[in-house]
Amino acid sequence: MLISALLILPASSALQVARGFRMTVIFSVVIALLAVVGGIVLSFLFNLPSGATIILLAFAQFCLCFLLRQLRGVRSSS
């Protein structure tokens, strides 16, 4: 499940905010790196399982990107 989530969540997050294929790939890599490094650090600090922490961070990033897209859509339509 960790592998499939790391394939899907960063790409889905990047598709929410990027404006082209190249930026989608770059954002996807950055989002995945932040989720992995942040998840490992948080799992070490709070004694949590690393896989679940990484996926929760990736999902939180997806939610943040989704909200940013919604806010950007509201501002551009008004």
**Residue 58 · residue 10 · CB < 8 Å:** yes
What would the pLDDT profile of 4-34 be if each residue is shown by its tens digit?
A: 999 999 999 999 999 999 999 999 999 999 9
Query: What pTM value is reported for the model?
Result: 0.89
Domain boundaries, the chain: 2-73
Can you give the pLDDT at residue 7?
94
Average pLDDT for 55-64: 97
The per-residue pLDDT of the chain, averaged, comes to 94
